Structures are given as C-alpha cells and as structure tokens.
Amino acid sequence: MRLGVPLGHPQFGRAVPCDCVREETDEEQSDRLLRYSNLGSLRRMSFATLMPRGRSADPLHQERFAGAVEAARRFAEAPEGWLALLGRSGAGKTHLAAAVANRCIELGRPALFIVVPDLLDHLRASYRPDAPEPYEGLFEQVRNAPLLVLDDLGAQSPTPWAVEKLYQILNHRYNLQLPTVITASVSLDGLDERVRTRLGDPSLSQVYLLEDAGGGGHGAHSPLDLPLVREMTFARFNRAGMGASAHAAGNLARAFDTARNYAERPESQSGGCSWLVLLGQTGVGKTHLAASIGHHWRETGRTVEFVVVPDLLDRVRALMSDDGDAEQYRLLEQVRTCPYLILDDLGVHSATRWAQEKLFQILNHRYNAKLATVITVGVPVEELPEAWVSRMYDDKVSLIFQIDAPDYRGLRRAEPKRGRR
C-alpha cells in the first residue's frame, strides 16, 4: 500500500507493507513476491548461476562484465538509484538484471521484471473494455514499483506513443528517484534524448557497458582497441609525472582533474563548454588523457569516434585515389556528426590547403552544433590556421588546457655517441 502523505514527503509514492503482509510466513511472502515479480522462467537466473567474468574471450569484455557483476550485487543488497546495463545481445545483461530481482525477492523485497516490448503490448491491450486489468492500474503499478527492472529498452517500435509512454514511466521514477534497473542493446545515443539525459545522470544512475553495443567508434578497428591505447585509462595516468618538478606535477594533476570532470559531464562544463583542447609538446600525456575520456565514454554507453588526424587524412586521400567518393563522404560525415569525437594530433601533417579545408569542415560543424569534442594539439598554436584557432579558443564552446610537463613516459633523448680520441 502507499501512505497518504503530501508531495515531497520521503515516503510519497513508495510502497510500504501493510499489517497483513507483515504477518505472512516466509513461504507465503516468497510466493506472493514471485507472483508479483513477473520473472517466470527467469527465476533460475541468479548470481550463483552466472559466469563471474562473462562468456566473452576478450579480456576487456571480461573486465567490464566483472565490474558490472560487483555493481549489480551491491545494488541488489541495497537498491538505490538506477543501474543501466548496456551491450550487444548475449552479453549477459538480462541474466544480471534478473539476478538483481531474484536477490531482492530472497531478501523479502518486491521487484517487478518486465520486457519493454511486452510492457507496451500490455498497455495497449489494457485500453480494451474487456481487459483483465485497466490501463490506469497497470500504468501506475509499473510507474511506482518499489524496484522496476526494464529489460531490452530500445527494442520496441519507436512510435511516438511508445516513446511517450516510456518517457512518462522513466521521468516519474527519475523525479522520485525510485530504484530501477534497465538493460539495452543500443548505446545511450540510440535512445530518446529525454530518456538519455536521465539515464546518463551520474548523480542517480550507474551505467555499465558489458560489450560494445554497436555504433560508430565501437568497431574492431578503433584506435581505442589497440593494446597500448587500451591501457590509457584514468586509473593508469601518473599525475605526478616522471621526474617532474613540483610545478609540472601540479600541472599534470590539474590536467587530470580537468579531463576527468569533462569526461563525466561533457555537455555541462563551466560556461557551457562542449570542447576540451589539450595543448602540449609530444609525450606530455595528451593522448593518454584523451583516450581515458574515450574509454570512460564507452563504458557509459556513449558512441565515440577516436580519430588520429594524420591517419584520417591518409584514409580520405586513399579513397580519393580509388574513386571512392561515396565512401569518402560517409567517413567524413561520420566524423563530422558523431555525438562524441576525439581528434588526436591535430595540426600534424595538415599543412596542405586540401587537408586544412577538410578539417575545417569537421571543426566548423562541431563548433556550430556544440558537439562534445576532445582535441589534442602538439604543435605551436601559431602554426595552425586562424579559422581553426578562432573556434578552438572561443570560451563559449571550448575549454583550453596547456600541459607543461616533461615527457610523461619518462623517455629521454639519447645522447649522441662520441668517437674515441
């Protein structure tokens, strides 16, 4: 039952057990919770029956899955906020979500599990006069479930009615901060914008990407998947530098904090900035921080393109020589319009007028659209075209950080060998 308390009361909208429920035996309570849960055959899916590191042979996917399992275990013991599990079909999302619901039932807590397309079918059917449960009752049951598990969000037909109903449910639960588990086989960028902003709110939601859910930047050929770049994470960044002075170490620590804060909320930085530009000489950690941002975005379900600028230009030139105009346009359009872009080594090998024009088209579109963009620059700014610099240094869009530190990797130039006298 729900208490008759005013709006704003901590118990408003929350289900609480009545006296008859408190007097139930453990067996009666378990039977009642199972009937309510809608788990059916998924009752067998528990934390004990899943593979702790998932089914993938990829060590990165195994690491992601193990992290999601620990988060799901903690959530099941004390459901609070939202838990989102993203990844391709077969990655183990449904098993994890069902395990959370089953554990809650073991602890005597109600949990409602429902597949999103099935939910929408039930809501449509409830409009009929002879429906076993009227629309209002079913809709309120889902909106206010003490713990709601929505499986396969994004698999439904994206009709305006379906989008609106799901938004009403999720917005209600978001405003009341009701515990919710959501699984999806699409990235956050594939969801309705209103749903995406709520699901991606770090103050309420934990988002775990189990295996790549598809979309740009998630392919097997992304630089983020290269063995060395895989290790470029925030956890592995040495904020003290390699033999750096106190000033340089402090600068590196501020660069780390700036990059980390930007990764968390790229669309709402101070002054509404949506670009982060990292300046500095070769080896100071720019690419490591940029890749760390890319990995964080991936792990939170965002669609990311990581582009090494000289490589991009080489690919475009090759397509020109092979008469691949359509493929060239597709590639440039993908980089120009993707929701989250990392441009590494801007200014290197881009002195030709053709290269400058192609890169200007990318930068200008992203500047006007205020799309989240990370840019690393290893050459003096004076060597860049003025059209680029004017956009990169616009403080309404861009946040600039100059990294002043010795070679981050601790490398030293070899001294020339001296001949014997």
Whether 204 and 247 map to the same domain: the answer is: no
Closest CA to 148 of 21, 17, 38: 38
Structural domain boundaries, residue 115:
19-209
Helix, strand, or coil (residue 96): helix
Please indicate, yes or no, whether residues 255 and 143 belong to a single structural domain of this protein: no
Does residue 6 lie in a domain region? Answer: no
DSSP structure class, residue 206? E
Q: Is the pLDDT of residue 29 over 90?
A: no
pLDDT digits (tens, 9 = 90+) for 314-345: 888 777 655 556 677 778 888 988 889 999 99
The count of C-alpha atoms lying within 13 angstroms of the C-alpha of 209, restricted to the half-sphere facing its C-beta, is: 22
Binning pLDDT at 50, 70 and 90, where does residue 71 land? very high
**Spatial contact of 103 and 138, defined as CB atoms under 8 Å apart:** no
Structure tokens at 418: 């001296």
- Residue 218, pLDDT > 50, answer no
Query: What CATH number should be reported for the domain holding residue 29?
Result: 3.40.50.300
Confirm whether 1 is domain-assigned.
no
Asked whether residue 86 is assigned to any structural domain, the reply reads yes
Tell me, yes or no, whether 416 lies in a domain.
no
**Structure token digits, residue 368:** 């006007």
- The answer to whether position 227 is within a domain reads yes
pLDDT digits (tens, 9 = 90+) for 235-276: 999 887 666 688 888 999 999 999 999 998 886 554 567 999
* 283 and 166 in a common domain: no
- Alpha carbon dihedral 184, 221, 282, 333, in 10-degree steps, equals -70
- The pLDDT of residue 307: 93
Nearest to 403 by CA among 232, 237, 225, 223: 237
Highest mean pLDDT among 136-145, 170-179, 210-219: 170-179
Structure tokens at 374: 């990370």
Asked whether residue 14 is domain-assigned, the answer is no
Q: Which residue has the tokens 């089914």?
A: 55
| Contact predicate 280/403, CB 8 Å | yes
Q: Are residues 180 and 232 in the same domain?
A: no
- Of the listed ranges 65-69, 188-192, 227-231, 247-251, the least confidently predicted one is 188-192
Which amino acid, one-letter code, is at 304? V
Evaluate whether 149 touches 117 at the Cβ level (below 8 Å): no
- 244 and 374 in a single domain? The answer is yes
Task: List, in sequence order, every beta strand (DSSP E) within 94-199.
Answer: 112-115, 148-153, 180-184
- Determine the Cα–Cα distance for residues 328 and 324; give it in Å rounded to an integer: 6
Mind listing the pLDDT tens digit for each residue in 87-125? 888 889 999 999 999 999 999 999 999 999 989 988 888
Q: Is residue 187 within 8 Å of residue 24, measured between CB atoms?
A: no
Same domain? 198 vs 144: yes
Same domain membership, residue 126 and residue 97: yes
- What pLDDT is stored for residue 15 in this prediction? 61
Q: How far apart are CA 229 and CA 176, in angstroms?
A: 40
Rounded alpha-carbon distances, angstroms, from residue 140 to 123, 135, 145 = 11, 8, 8
228 & 189 share domain:
no
Same domain, 115 and 153: yes
Question: How far apart are the C-alpha atoms of 184 and 213, rounded to whole Å?
Answer: 8
Per-residue CA distances from 358 to 138, 317, 320, 374 (Å): 54, 11, 13, 18
Are 346 and 278 found together in one domain?
yes
- The predicted pLDDT at position 171 comes to 95
Contact 380, 388 (CB under 8 A): no
Q: Give the tokens for residue 84.
A: 């989102």
More confident residue, 72 or 61: 72
CB-CB contact of 305 with 343 (8 Å): no
Which DSSP state fits 189? G
Same domain, 204 and 244: no
Average pLDDT, the chain: 83
Rounded Cα–Cα distance for residues 57 and 255 (Å): 35
Whether residues 237 and 151 fall in one domain: no
Query: Domain tally for the chain?
Result: 2
What is the predicted pLDDT for the residue at 242?
A: 65
Query: Domain end: 209, 234, 265, which one?
Result: 209
